Amino acid sequence: MRLLLVEDEPKLVAFLRKGLIESGFVVDVATNRADGSYLATSGSPYDLLILDIGLPDGEGWDILSKVRNAGLASAVIFLTARSSISDRMRGFDLGTDDYLTKPFAFCELLARVRALLRRCRAKTIEASLIADLHIDYGSQKVRRGGQRIALTAKEFSLLSLLARHSGQILSRTVITEQVWDMSFDSDSNVVDVAIRRLREKVDEPFAEKLIRSYRGRGYCLEAPE
């Protein structure tokens, strides 16, 4: 699971990042509004954002507004010293999912993060249909042109990631973090090997190819135009 933490206090950033990584999350950090807005709305969407309100170049409200205006469904928690009812109401009106005030206990933040992610997973789509490729996420069954395709667990995870972001180019870094839950090693060809094996099953037996390579950028699953 990928999280974005937007916070400008160095000691708190180090504390939260360490705790979240040790809890099994992939964590990116931004220390100002501009960088937070860019990361939150560019590339593959984050599963969850943890936002401070008071930032050096603006407020976390703006980040949340841009995320929701872009139609992104990332879960959002405000983690802030602002505890007034009016601030809480503004956050929920803008589309935050939760609001936790400082000082706080890390165990409570972690519990809220996990609860939000469970609710978000429950709301996710149950199946995808891309051209003649049908993916049932619940049963983990894949068919193309009515033909059953047998995939390993990792192959299904990789295909599911590409399908859920159909039409988007996913970098090797994003794929590695999401499917293998580890940091990207530029010398590793694990993603390329997995993509090649997936193509052998999903694309090669069929005339239309759905998995596309974008040199220097990554991979994308999309229906032919």
Q: Which of 123, 152, 186 is the last residue of a domain?
A: 123
Residues 145, 118, single domain; the answer is no
71 shares its domain with 87? yes
The answer to whether residues 112 and 98 touch, using CB atoms and an 8 Å cutoff, is yes
Task: Please state, as a whole number, how many other Cβ atoms lie within 10 Å of the Cβ of residue 195.
Answer: 20
Considering the domain architecture, whether residues 77 and 173 belong to the same structural domain is answered as no
Same domain? 26 vs 105: yes
Rg of the chain on CA atoms, in Å: 19
Residue 8 to residue 172: CA distance in whole angstroms? 28
| Both tokens assigned to 160 | 């599911």
Tell me, yes or no, whether 52 and 148 share the same domain.
no
Are 183 and 205 part of one and the same domain? Answer: yes
Q: How confident is the model at residue 187 (pLDDT cuts 50, 70, 90)?
A: low
* Domain that residue 190 falls in: 127-221
Does pTM surpass 0.75?
A: no
| Statement: residue 65 has pLDDT above 70 | yes
Distance from C-alpha of 221 to C-alpha of 210, rounded to nearest angstrom: 5
What was the pLDDT predicted at 86? 93
CATH of the domain at 156: 1.10.10.10
Angle CA 77–89–93, to nearest 5: 75
Q: What is the mean pLDDT of the chain?
A: 89
Same domain for 190 and 97, yes or no, is no
pLDDT digits (tens, 9 = 90+) for 42-60: 877 899 999 999 999 999 9
Q: Where residue 6 sits, what CATH number does that domain have?
A: 3.40.50.2300
How many distinct structural domains can be found in the chain? Answer: 2
Reduced to 3 states (helix: H, G, I; strand: E, B; else coil), residue 121 is helix
Q: How much is the average pLDDT of 118-135?
A: 77
Domain-ending residue, one of 103, 123, 143: 123
Rounded to an integer, the average pLDDT of 29-39 is 95
- Answer with the one of 64, 88, 123 that is the final residue of a domain: 123
**8 plus 118 within the same structural domain:** yes
Whether 43 and 133 map to the same domain: the answer is no
Q: Are 82 and 109 in contact (CB under 8 A)?
A: no
Q: Are residues 25 and 110 in the same domain?
A: yes
Query: Distances in Å between the alpha carbon of 97 and those of 47, 60, 123, 145, 169?
Result: 12, 14, 14, 40, 28
